[in-house]
Amino acid sequence: MKTEIISVGTELLIGDIINSNSKFLSEKLTELGFDVLFHSTVGDRADTLRDTILYSLSKVDLIILTGGLGPTADDLTKEVVSATIGKSLILDTQILARIQKIFDDKNIPMPESNIKQALVPESSVVLDNDIGTAPGIFVEENNKIIILLPGPPKEMRYMFNKYVIPLLNNKSKYKIASKVIKTIGIGESSLEYQIKDIINKHTNVNFATYVKDGQVDIRVSTKIHGHENIKKSLDIIGAQIQDLLGDYIFSTNSDSLEMVVFNLLNNKKLKIAFAESCTGGQISSRFTKMPGISQVFDTGLITYSNDSKRDYLHVNEITLNKYGAVSQETAKEMAKGLLSEGKVDIALSVTGIAGPTGGTQYKPVGLVYISLCTTKDCFCKEYNFNGDRETIQKQASDAAFNEIRVYLENLK
Ligand code: ATP
Ligand code: MG
């Protein structure tokens, strides 16, 4: 079914907010087997909104509009859609009672303007909004479907999942099943080369690679007609790819790198601490975004200056003077010093030059050392990253998580 998503809101046009609604809807609709052919964005203006709807009706069979369902004067999506398709608006007393109750519960009088949120186009399906005031609308007319959803992303997503998916079920001829395999440490073209035989063998399966900050995701997808059980064949393809790419793969179930590390530490009942220099706390920060991390995470120190490396991590003054703060020797002493506190099983350190200044001929911007020490092992790896400061910091923290992952996965 040909589909268009129309996002309504002047704030989108002037660049005030990012259009996250269309990203969400596109992902979901594609999965459900709808051909999303167009995204349109239009401001809160009746004339341009009307033109956009008319043009869209000439191109597609399913239109989803988000935004402009609120109580204020600039919210006019419902009014314009109804007028464009020749439907009058009627008061839905149930919706009005529900909106009235929201205000009664808060003990404040309902503004007059909210009454218009209870107006619905005649012979439409009303999608009740359990978490906000504006209801959604589903209209089917002349073999075209028009769906209106509120703009606030939380409400829009909730209503799409709860009401729109069941209403759209069976409207598309197929669904899309997909599996995402996440890799790190291998380039896109060399990855594609390594799995080319698998790609060539499965002609009914689509293989797409996406590069994100030094990670490459492989999306394996295929159309499902009826009730075919595709999941198993996708899992088999996933296992074949895993055989070829081995350690480069960190997730086959869409877990993030830090989540994989968290799970590994948790399963092995190990505690970790970080000493960060050029990543400025990013590793600890990414870790602490995950609830329950205290099970495995003990300490995160940002030891930026030479003095703090010496004072908090017991890095030898001679090491710092002889090899410099960005060196194998310093990285190792940072990790060893942290481990010597005796509180954790694994200590990891990062030291490097994030740039854009501070690089030299022998130690260029992007040079990063990552050291991982336990009571049994202690090693250090050198990396040479490219990019601006932010990119180098992100790549360094990814590499750090990856070091821990590979170490733990290969731990006997
Ligand atoms: P409300 O009752 O809040 O007025 P509404 O249905 O009228 O809801 P809008 O006025 O268009 O929706 O937007 C409400 C909020 O949702 C705004 O904060 C807006 O920034 C956000 N929003 C709207 N459209 C989008 C979008 N496409 N992507 C992300 N955020 C959006
Ligand atoms: Mg609004």
CB 278 less than 6 A from any atom of ligand 1: no
Residue 367: the pLDDT is: 98
Question: Could you tell me the two tokens for 411?
Answer: 């731990």
Residue 324: DSSP 8-state: -
CB 7 less than 6 A from any atom of ligand 1: yes
Note whether 127 and 135 are within 8 A (CB).
yes
User: What is this structure's pTM?
Assistant: 0.79
Distance, in Å, from the CA atom of 140 to the CA atom of 332, rounded to the nearest integer, reads 67
Residue 398: the pLDDT is: 96
Note whether 265 and 296 are within 8 A (CB).
yes
> Distance, CA 277 to ligand 1 centroid (Å)?
41
Note whether 303 and 333 are within 8 A (CB).
no
**Which one of the ligands is nearest to 19 CA?**
1
> Distance, CA 11 to ligand 1 centroid (Å)?
9
Residue 344: the pLDDT is: 97
Question: Could you tell me the two tokens for 237?
Answer: 């393809």
Which regions in the chain score pLDDT beneath 70? 227-228
CB 67 less than 6 A from any atom of ligand 1: yes
> Distance, CA 151 to ligand 1 centroid (Å)?
3
**pLDDT one-digit tens code per residue, 109-140:** 999 888 888 999 999 999 988 888 889 999 99
CB 21 less than 6 A from any atom of ligand 1: yes
- Ligand 1 atom with the smallest distance to the CA of 8 is 11
Distance, in Å, from the CA atom of 386 to the CA atom of 380, rounded to the nearest integer, reads 20
Residue 226: the pLDDT is: 73
CA-proximal residue: ligand 1, atom 28 (nearest): 19
Residue 412: the pLDDT is: 80
H/E element, 38: strand 35-42
CB 69 less than 6 A from any atom of ligand 1: yes
Q: Coil, strand, or helix at residue 9?
A: coil
Residue 153: the pLDDT is: 96
Residue 334: the pLDDT is: 98
Of 308, 368, 383, the C-alpha closest to 338 is: 308
**pLDDT one-digit tens code per residue, 392-406:** 999 999 999 999 999
CA-proximal residue: ligand 1, atom 25 (nearest): 151
**pLDDT one-digit tens code per residue, 141-153:** 889 999 999 999 9
Residue 314: the pLDDT is: 97
